[in-house]
Amino acid sequence: MPVTKERFRQEYITKLELMYGDDAGHTSSLEKYNALVSLVRDYLAQQWKKTRAHYRRTGTKQVYYFSIEFLLGRLLGANLFNLGLTEICREALAELNIDLHELEKIEEDPGLGNGGLGRLAACYLDSMAAKNLPGHGMGIRYRYGLFEQRIIDGYQREFTDDWLMDGFYWDIRKPAEAVEVRFGGRVRIKSNGKTQYIHENYETVLAVPYDVPVAGYRNGLVNTLRLWSAEAKLSDIACHSDESKDCQKAVEFNHAVEEISNILYPDDTTYEGKVLRLKQQYFLVSAGLQSILRNYKEQNGHLKELPQKIAIHINDTHPVLTIPELMRILIDEEKLEWDEAWKITVETISYTNHTILPEALEKWPVDLFKQVLPRIYMIVEEINEGFCRSLWERYPGEWDRISAMAVISYGQVHMAHLAIAGSHSVNGVAALHTEILKHKVMRLFYEFSPEKFNNKTNGVTQRRWLAQCNPPVAALITDTIGAEWIESPQHLIKLKQYVEDSGFQQYLSRAKLQNKVMLAKYIKGKYDISLDINSIFDAHIKRIHAYKRQTLNILHIMDLYNRLKDNPLLDITPRTFIFGGKAASNYHIAKATIKLINSLAQTVNNDKSIHDKIKIIFMENYNVSLAELIIPASDVSEQIPTASYEASGTGNMKFMMNGAVTIGTLDGANIEIKNAVGEENIIVFGLTADEVLQYYRYGGYNPWDVYNSDQRVRTVVEQLINGFLPAGKEVFRDHYDSLLHQGDHFFVLKDFASYVQAQNILEERFRNKARWLKMCACNIAHSGAFSSDRTFSEYAAEIWGVRPQRLGNGNGNRSTGPVN
C-alpha cells in the first residue's frame, strides 16, 4: 500500500506518542527528529526484509566492499529521497507546523572518513543499491569521527567529534551476530599426520555489528552497511566487588579493547599508535569475513564455490588482511589445503589503489606484525614464499627485481604487494592514475601479471550530488528532459540541445543565483561577512595538502590583490574565494596553510580601498553537508594539484555536475572531464604529469629562475615573510623556504604564470554571460559519465561478476515527479 501524506502524518503522530508519550506541540526538535528517523526506518525495514529474503531465496552472488572509511553524510534526506517520500514527508510535517529542513539539520554528519576514499565508498553504496546490485559495505563504527575543526585566531584547532552523543538512530545493533577477534598470543604447531596451528594465549575482542540500511532509489531494494564496534567480552571483564584491584584492571582492559574502534587513523608515529592501527585493520577484516562466511555456510555448500557466491573488494590497502585472514579461516578452520585455499582467496578478492603518495603506501615492521598477529604473520610469510617462488621461476636470478616485489622485505610487510599478489584484479581510479600504476609505481607487478590491472574511473552519485543538494537545478533538468536522469545519468546528455537556448540559460542562471543566495546567507549568519552574489564564487574545498596546492591559489589571490592596490580602478569582476578543508593534525605546513588563508582573508576582507572586489572565506569544519551547500553555489571549481598526484579527484565531478566550470591541471579525472566536455568548456593550465615526472627524474627544477624572472612571483613570495600579512613575519617561513630553498617540490612557482593566465581567461569568459552559461550547461550535460552508477556497472560486470536484481517496487512510491 503506497504511503500517502495522510498515512505518513498519522503514523508520525503515533510514533511521537509511542516514543515520547506526547504530541508534536510538546516535544523537542531532537525528539521530533528521532521520531521521524524511527518512522523512516520502519519503512526501510520492510524493504530490507524483502531484499534479504530475495537474496536468500535466489542465492545470488553478493559483493562486500571493505573500507576503513565511509563518509556517508546525513541520511534522513537521502533515505526519504530514495524511498520517494520527500514531498509527502515535507507536506505531512508542514501540516503539523514542522519544517523538514530544520529537522534534517539536526542530524550529525557522521565523519567516519577522511576524504575522497571514504566519500567514494558512500557513493558506491548508493549506486549499488540504486542499480539493483547485491552489494554491501563493511566498516568500523568509530566512536569518534574525524576531528571537528574549529578556527581560532586563524588556526585550525581539533576537537573531538562526539557524533554519537545524541544517539544514532539509523543503525541496528546486532549483538547476537557478534564474533570474536583474536590478537597476540603464540602459535603452537602440532603435527600428527596433518599440521595443525594452535593459537594460544591470545586476547579476545568482541566485534559487535551495527547494520545501517542502504536504500536503492525507488526500487524497493535495501542493502546493508555493517559497521563493527569493539567491545570487551563480558566474561573477560567480570570483577568481584570485594576486589577493587581486579575491578580497576577490568575497567582498564575494557578501555584498551574499546580503543580499537575509538578513532579513525590513530596517530601512527609511535609504536603504540602503529599497533592500534594494525589491530583496527585486522579487527574489521576478521569480523567482516567471519560474518560473511558464517552466512555463506548457512546458505551454501562447499567453500570451493565461494568465488561464485561472494566477491570481496578492498578499498585501498587498509583492509588487505582479508587475504591472509581468509586463508587462515579456510586452512585452520575449514581444513582446506593451501593451494585450494589460495585459489579461492585470489578469485574472491579484488583491490583498488587510491593514491601513489609514498607516505600512504602502507608498510608494517615485521616484529610488530608478528607480535600483534602471530598466525596471520605465518600465513603472510608463506604467501611471500609462494609469490617469490613464482617470481623466481619467471625471472631466475633477478634478485633485485624479486626483492623489490616481495611481500616481506627489509624487515617490513608491504601491504600493496600483498594486495596485488592475493587478488585477481587491481584497479586505479582514473585513466592517468592507472597508467602511472602500470608503468611507474607498480611497473614490475604489471609486467608480471598484466591481466590483473584495469582502470575504473571514479564516479559520484547524482542523487545526492545533484538531485538532493541542488533542488533548483535538478528541477530545471527534470522540466527540460524528464526525470530519468536520476536513475540513468546518461540521460543528462539530452541537455546538450539546450546549452545555447536562452530560456534554458536564464533558468539556469536564476537557479545558480538562488543557491548563491543560500550560501551567502549561511556565511553572513556564521561569519558576519556579506558576499556579492554577482561575484564569481570560486571554491577550493578538499583536504589541505601540499600537493593540492591551496598555496598556489593563495599566491594568485595575493597577486590579484596587489594589482588592485596598484590600480584601484582596475576593472575586475568581483571574486569570492571560498576555501574549506581539514589538515591532518600532525601536518604542520598544511595547518600553516589554513592560517595563511585566514591571514590573507583578514587583510583583503577589511581593506575598504578595494571596494569589496575580493572576498576570502575559510569555511570551518568542512564535511559532506557543507559540500552540499557550497558546490551548488559555485561558479568555479578549483582542481589544481601538481599533475600526477591526484589519483582521480571526485570533487571535480560533483562541481561539474552542478554546472561549475573547472580550472584545473591535467591530472586524475580532470583529463577525462576535459575530454568529455571539450577544451572550450574547461580551463586547463600548468605542467602535465609527464613533465612533472620528467623533472623529478632529472632532479627537479630551480625555483630561483622563476623568482628572478617574474616580478609578480617575487612580490608575492616575499609578502609571505615581509610583514605584509597580519600574522607576522615568521609564521609562513616554512612556506617560503619550501618554495625557494627546498626546491618547490610541488611546482607552485613553476605553474604560477600559467595559473594566473588561466584565471584571467576565466574572468574574461565569465563576463560573457551566454558563453559562460553554455559552459556550465555543457558541464552538466556531460556529467553522466562521472556518475558512480556508471562506475559500478563496470565494477559489477568486469570485476565481480554480479548481476542486477529485480525486486518488487517497495511501498509503491515510485512516481518520478519533480525532485524534492
Catalytic residue positions? 354, 542-543, 548, 650, 654
Which CB, 34 or 322, lies closer to ligand 26V? 322
Regarding 84 and contact with ligand 26V (CB under 6 A), the answer is no
Q: Binding string to ligand 26V for residues 196 to 215, with x set by CB under 6 A, is what?
A: --------------------
CB 419 within 8 A of CB 314: yes
Q: Pick out residues in 281-340 that bind ligand 26V (CB under 6 A).
A: 316
Regarding 738 and contact with ligand 26V (CB under 6 A), the answer is no
Neighbours of 572 (CB within 10 A): 17
Please, what is the minimum distance in Å from the beta carbon of residue 54 to ligand 26V?
31
- Exactly one of 111, 116, 209, 324 binds ligand 26V (CB under 6 A); that residue is 116
* 303 Cβ neighbours under 8 A, 6+ residues apart: 293, 296, 297, 330, 334, 336, 344
* 559 Cβ neighbours under 8 A, 6+ residues apart: 712, 715, 716, 756
Which CB, 639 or 779, lies closer to ligand 26V? 639
Spatial distance between the Cα atoms of 429 and 442, rounded to a whole number of angstroms: 14
Q: Binding string to ligand 26V for residues 442 to 481, with x set by CB under 6 A, is what?
A: ----------------x-----------------------
Regarding 650 and contact with ligand 26V (CB under 6 A), the answer is yes
C-alpha cell at 224: 546493508
Which CB, 100 or 260, lies closer to ligand 26V? 260
Which CB, 599 or 787, lies closer to ligand 26V? 787
Indicate the DSSP class of residue 641. P
Please, what is the minimum distance in Å from the beta carbon of residue 117 to ligand 26V?
3
Spatial distance between the Cα atoms of 512 and 539, rounded to a whole number of angstroms: 14
Regarding 117 and contact with ligand 26V (CB under 6 A), the answer is yes
The residue at minimum Cβ distance from ligand 26V is 116
Which region, judged by CB under 6 A, interacts with ligand 26V, from 30-38, 442-450, 640-648, 763-771?
640-648
Spatial distance between the Cα atoms of 361 and 349, rounded to a whole number of angstroms: 19
Which region, judged by CB under 6 A, interacts with ligand 26V, from 295-303, 460-468, 497-505, 645-653?
645-653
Number of residues that bind ligand 26V (CB under 6 A): 18
Please, what is the minimum distance in Å from the beta carbon of residue 10 to ligand 26V?
44
Which CB, 87 or 316, lies closer to ligand 26V? 316
Spatial distance between the Cα atoms of 150 and 619, rounded to a whole number of angstroms: 10
Regarding 354 and contact with ligand 26V (CB under 6 A), the answer is yes
Which region, judged by CB under 6 A, interacts with ligand 26V, from 179-187, 240-248, 556-564, 644-652?
644-652
- Exactly one of 355, 425, 621, 623 binds ligand 26V (CB under 6 A); that residue is 355
Please, what is the minimum distance in Å from the beta carbon of residue 675 to ligand 26V?
17
| Nearest C-alpha neighbor of 495 from the set 480, 510, 511, 475 | 480
Q: Are strands 222-232 and 310-315 parallel, antiparallel or unpaired?
A: unpaired
CB 43 within 8 A of CB 811: yes
Q: Binding string to ligand 26V for residues 759 to 798, with x set by CB under 6 A, is what?
A: ----------------------------------------
Regarding 127 and contact with ligand 26V (CB under 6 A), the answer is no
What phi, psi does 143 have (nearest 5°)?
-65, -40
- Exactly one of 621, 634, 648, 738 binds ligand 26V (CB under 6 A); that residue is 648
| Nearest C-alpha neighbor of 663 from the set 574, 563, 549, 581 | 549
Spatial distance between the Cα atoms of 325 and 318, rounded to a whole number of angstroms: 13
Regarding 427 and contact with ligand 26V (CB under 6 A), the answer is no
| Nearest C-alpha neighbor of 438 from the set 448, 49, 377, 508 | 448
Q: Are strands 203-215 and 172-173 parallel, antiparallel or unpaired?
A: antiparallel
Spatial distance between the Cα atoms of 44 and 781, rounded to a whole number of angstroms: 33
Spatial distance between the Cα atoms of 128 and 488, rounded to a whole number of angstroms: 13
Which region, judged by CB under 6 A, interacts with ligand 26V, from 1-9, 116-124, 497-505, 590-598?
116-124
Element of type H or E holding 421: helix 415-421
C-alpha cell at 50: 524483502
C-alpha cell at 455: 582502470
- DSSP labels for 734-746? HHHHHHHTS--TT
Which region, judged by CB under 6 A, interacts with ligand 26V, from 176-184, 201-209, 642-650, 699-707?
642-650
Spatial distance between the Cα atoms of 144 and 112, rounded to a whole number of angstroms: 8
Which CB, 128 or 610, lies closer to ligand 26V? 128
Regarding 139 and contact with ligand 26V (CB under 6 A), the answer is no
Contacts to ligand 26V by CB under 6 A: 114-117, 120, 265, 316, 354-355, 360, 429, 458, 646-650, 668
